[in-house]
Amino acid sequence: MKTDRVVEVSNLEVNFNLDNGVVVNAVKGVSFHIAKGETLALVGESGSGKSVTAMTLMRLTEYAGAEIAGGSMQLRRNAGQVVELRDQPSAVMQDIRGADISMIFQEPMTSLNPVLKIGYQISEAIIRHQHKSKKDAWKVALEMLQFVRVPEAEKRMKQYPHNLSGGMRQRAMIAMALCCRPSLMIADEPTTALDVTIQAQMLDLMKLLQKEIGMSVLFITHDMGVVAEIADRICVMFRGEIVEQGDVYEIFENPKRPYTRALLAAVPRLGSMSEKDEPEKFPILKMRDTFEIDTASEGKTN
């Protein structure tokens, strides 16, 4: 593993064993790396394997009946030690989650505990990983809410998730994810449930915080507009495989695969329907068959 890399995934294979005996190969030979301070966007349509790949990095898919059937997942921890995530026992993974790798989920209302105050939930992670007293952890949690620009942070600490707006709940999730200064933050479509103005604020905030902390980010999304705003490099996934990857400018200016071109073409453009009398399907629906023929004839591109 190169010294500038925080994560290196090689030939990852993930299978789900269904109750009827069927084995579903959800992730097929996926390889990528993320350098320190870099943002890698993992993009593709729903069901392409993006979230499964990210959850496997945290070893969470095994709780859903998944099996890591092959490959390697190396992580450089905050202390500089390189570990193979596949080999770590459950107790070590509990130490890694939250401290070295953290995650922001798509919908904070399903991630935050509805019966616990925001301050308590952030403090809990600080107590667990930094071994601080409740008083000191509460102080750090307050500082983190202020750090992510939550207005009236001291008041919000004593409120429940339902008392906060969607944008503030997502900021609270970001504060929880950042409280231990992780090497890698995984953001699983964190702006999908937000309106466009709050979404823009969240993206600006994440870029600012990443610069201040120097962490790496794995950003999962199907929105190429968001990718253009935040990513340094892109991996395009289709049916469990990475079919194209490269620098964000390279992918946007010269996409090589039909599926990547279809994803880019699906981004709405102002005025594109101005002289048309009825709606049209997104190009991605028209081009999927073309892409599958292309994949079959050329093989997978990594």
In a domain, 195, yes or no: yes
**Residues 128 and 194 both lie in one domain:** no
- Rounded Cα–Cα distance for residues 143 and 119 (Å): 11
**Residues 161 and 231 both lie in one domain:** no
pLDDT given at position 292:
54
**Residues 125 and 252 both lie in one domain:** no
CATH number at residue 253: 3.40.50.300
**Residues 30 and 71 both lie in one domain:** yes
**Residues 247 and 285 both lie in one domain:** yes
Q: Please, what is the average pLDDT of the chain?
A: 87
Task: Name the residue range of residue 141's domain.
Answer: 105-181
In a domain, 273, yes or no: no
Question: Does residue 302 register a pLDDT over 60?
Answer: no
**Residues 138 and 25 both lie in one domain:** no
**Residues 292 and 156 both lie in one domain:** no
In a domain, 211, yes or no: no
Question: Does residue 206 register a pLDDT over 60?
Answer: yes
- pLDDT per position as a tens digit, 223-245: 888 898 899 999 999 999 999 99
Looking at residues 10-32, what average pLDDT do you find?
92
Reference 240, options 64, 72, 52, 10; nearest CA is: 52
- Rounded Cα–Cα distance for residues 9 and 84 (Å): 10
In a domain, 210, yes or no: no
Question: Does residue 294 register a pLDDT over 80?
Answer: no
Looking at residues 253-278, what average pLDDT do you find?
79
**Residues 117 and 149 both lie in one domain:** yes
In a domain, 29, yes or no: yes
The CA angle 295-298-302, to the nearest 5 degrees, is 80
**Residues 195 and 92 both lie in one domain:** yes
Q: Is the pTM of this model over 0.75?
A: yes
| Structural domains in the chain (count) | 2
- Rounded Cα–Cα distance for residues 73 and 7 (Å): 7
**Residues 91 and 128 both lie in one domain:** no
**Residues 15 and 109 both lie in one domain:** no
In a domain, 200, yes or no: yes
User: Per-residue confidence at 59, pLDDT binned at 50, 70, 90?
Assistant: very high
Task: Specify the range with the lowest mean pLDDT, choosing from 39-53, 117-131, 160-174, 182-196.
Answer: 182-196
User: Per-residue confidence at 66, pLDDT binned at 50, 70, 90?
Assistant: very high
| Residue 13 neighbours by CB under 8 Å, 6+ apart | 25, 27, 28, 29, 68, 69, 70, 71
Question: Does residue 213 register a pLDDT over 50?
Answer: yes
Asked whether the beta carbons of 205 and 178 are under 8 A apart, the reply is no
**Residues 88 and 148 both lie in one domain:** no
- pLDDT per position as a tens digit, 34-57: 999 999 999 998 889 999 999 999
